[in-house]
């Protein structure tokens, strides 16, 4: 009669696939340290990637109740690293990998504060999300338009007589609309039409006010985001880092909402992988 120890529980293939993918994507360096500690102890110092920008050349190919297999391309070998003792249950795989990681790091003299299996592991952010059609895109376009109009006025006669703004207003329906609003006492001083049409200096002043009303809060949001929010996560790609920072500077809150959505999705993915 067979005992349960001779017939371990069946391993769900989907869970195995997720575990392998997660380890290869987020913990390749840990696999490298486990390999060195348990099977290559003669190596001098911890094995490291060829460069800080490239992931370690190692890949987990299998994991069972009794062992895990990794392929190490630099020497073209596939290694079988035993679990000692074997896993009592498939659900123990994560805790065993954590245990082996910590043991390997301690043996190799790697500071424990750098443990990537720490409960406070940083979620990796690998991409930037563009503005959504609604509500992000309208906010993005309005802010970009105000920034561009105000800043370009330093290099191009935007507000001069005959300039771009004056030419546009003289051929648009805006003057007649503003002339109607000008009859409202509360709006008269703000709109300030002169005898020949729109007072360009008023439009210039209004653009300046709108620019500072948007830019100043966004600068503070951007600084807070770059120094207090992003450091909580692992954003190793400089292009992705800058894309998020510039997005917050331009859009403000909508960009931060997208970032939170991405973080939530990555946390869910991370939890499922474990």
Would residue 234 count as lying in a domain?
yes
pLDDT averages per 10-residue partition of the chain, 274 residues:
52 92 88 87 52 67 94 86 91 91 85 47 83 87 85 69 62 58 59 52 75 92 93 87 94 92 83 58
Are residue 96 and residue 158 in the same domain, yes or no?
Answer: no
User: In the chain, what is the straight-line distance between the N-terminal and C-terminal CA atoms, in Å?
Assistant: 34
Are residue 106 and residue 155 in the same domain, yes or no?
Answer: no
Would residue 79 count as lying in a domain?
yes
What is the pLDDT at residue 18? 92
Are residue 147 and residue 258 in the same domain, yes or no?
Answer: yes
What is the pLDDT at residue 260? 92
pTM score, two decimals?
A: 0.48
Domain boundary among 48, 81, 114: 114
Look at residue 65 and give its three-state secondary structure.
coil
Are residue 110 and residue 140 in the same domain, yes or no?
Answer: no
Q: What is the CATH number of the domain that holds 60?
A: 3.20.180.10
Where are the strands (E) in 33-76, listed by range? 59-63, 67-72
What is the pLDDT at residue 45? 47
Give the structural domain span for 233: 136-162+208-273
C-alpha to C-alpha distance for 176 and 181, rounded to whole angstroms: 9
Would residue 158 count as lying in a domain?
yes
Are residue 110 and residue 145 in the same domain, yes or no?
Answer: no
Name the DSSP class of 80. E
Are residue 104 and residue 215 in the same domain, yes or no?
Answer: no
């Amino acid at each position: 009669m067979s005992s349960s120890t001779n017939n371990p529980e069946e391993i769900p293939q989907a869970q195995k696939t997720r575990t392998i993918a997660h380890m290869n994507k987020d913990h390749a360096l840990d696999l490298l340290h486990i390999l060195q500690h348990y099977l290559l102890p003669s190596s001098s110092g911890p094995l490291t990637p060829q460069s800080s920008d490239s992931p370690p050349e190692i890949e987990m190919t299998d994991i069972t109740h009794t062992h895990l297999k990794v392929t190490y391309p630099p020497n073209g070998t596939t290694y079988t690293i035993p679990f000692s003792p074997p896993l009592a249950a498939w659900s123990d795989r994560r805790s065993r990998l954590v245990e082996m990681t910590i043991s390997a790091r301690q043996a190799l003299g790697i500071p424990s504060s750098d443990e990537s299996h720490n409960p406070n592991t940083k979620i990796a952010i690998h991409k930037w999300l563009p503005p959504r059609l609604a509500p992000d895109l309208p906010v993005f376009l309005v802010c970009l338009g105000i920034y561009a109009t105000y800043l370009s006025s330093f290099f191009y006669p935007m507000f001069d007589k005959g300039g771009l703004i004056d030419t546009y207003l003289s051929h648009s329906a805006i003057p007649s609309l503003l002339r109607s609003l000008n009859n409202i006492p509360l709006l008269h001083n703000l709109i300030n039409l002169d005898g020949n049409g729109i007072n360009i200096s008023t439009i210039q002043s209004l653009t300046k006010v709108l620019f500072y009303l948007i830019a100043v809060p966004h600068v503070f949001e951007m600084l807070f985001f770059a120094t207090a929010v992003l450091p909580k996560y692992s954003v190793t790609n400089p292009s992705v880092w800058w894309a998020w920072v510039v997005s917050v500077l331009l859009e403000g809150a909508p960009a931060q909402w997208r970032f939170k959505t991405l973080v939530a999705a990555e946390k869910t993915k991370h939890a499922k992988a474990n």
